[in-house]
Amino acid sequence: FVDFLSLTMDQIVNQAAKLRYMFGGKGTVPIVIRAAQGTGVKLAAQHSQSLEAWFAHIPGLIVVCPSTPADAKGLLLAAIRNPNPVIFLEHKMLYFVKGDVPDGEGLERIGVAARRREGTDVTLCSYSLMTHRCLEAADLLGQRGVSCEVIDLRTIRPWDKTALLDSVRKTHRLAVVHEAVRSFGAGAEIAATVMDEAFDELDAPVLRIAAHDIPMPFNDTLERETVPTVERIVEAVEKLG
């Protein structure tokens, strides 16, 4: 569980992430740390967190959040071959997802987003499980006349700023969706970057849709209501105008 990587933060943050820099690039730390995170299986406050923002804040770490079986394979292979430490975050609910996986290596590039759906009215930016919720929301919004483009970042450190900015320049509206709590999350960094670099392209403020700022409840109904639902995404996007 990603929650208990807190017990290893010195080794990850002060050692693995920094050694290459402290030794002038003469050494590498080619390790991959796989961790399960997220909600959906009623494991309560200490086993259900989404902590990607912790690790994305640390220079020297790579943070990967795949959303499909093919990406899980391709990005894991890329992570293993990378000379830097990689935090590979696997959403628990995605262990049950089936999908095509290419023969051979099917290697994916770290730091390259995937456009999961084309659209013209609003960009939905996400990663991991929330990519699937964005796609469901895009289907419903499409029935109501709102054309959504869905960008799956796949990695959030580094993240594909170019792909997202290109999409925003086309749709002129952006909603960032993640399961982690809203305050100080990846969505805030993404929103700030878009505001800095594409402010004149926006027809509405950047929207952040995230978990409420509370420890994750054990109760199934409360857990579902804490994180973004398809209905919540649809409702929020419709208010963008």
**CATH number of the domain located at residue range(s) 2-96 in this protein:** 3.40.50.970
Nearest Cα neighbor of 17 from 44, 47, 54, 51 is 54
pTM above 0.85, yes or no: yes
Phi-psi region of 3 (alpha: psi -120 to 50; beta: other; left: phi over 0): alpha
**Segment 188-195 mean pLDDT:** 98
**Segment 145-161 mean pLDDT:** 98
**CATH number of the domain located at residue range(s) 114-238 in this protein:** 3.40.50.920
- Report the distance separating Cα 29 and Cα 20, nearest Å: 7
Each residue's pLDDT tens digit, 63-108: 999 999 999 999 999 999 999 999 999 999 999 999 999 998 889 9
Report the chain's mean pLDDT, rounded to a whole number: 97
First to last CA, the chain: 39
- Report the distance separating Cα 32 and Cα 86, nearest Å: 5
Each residue's pLDDT tens digit, 14-69: 999 999 999 999 999 999 999 999 999 889 999 999 999 999 999 999 999 999 99
pLDDT of residue 105: 87
Domain boundary assignment for the chain: 2-96, 114-238
Share of the chain above pLDDT 70, in %: 100
Identical fold for domains 2-96 and 114-238, yes or no, is yes
CB atoms under 10 Å from CB of 180, counted, come to 22
Contact 138, 150 (CB under 8 A): yes
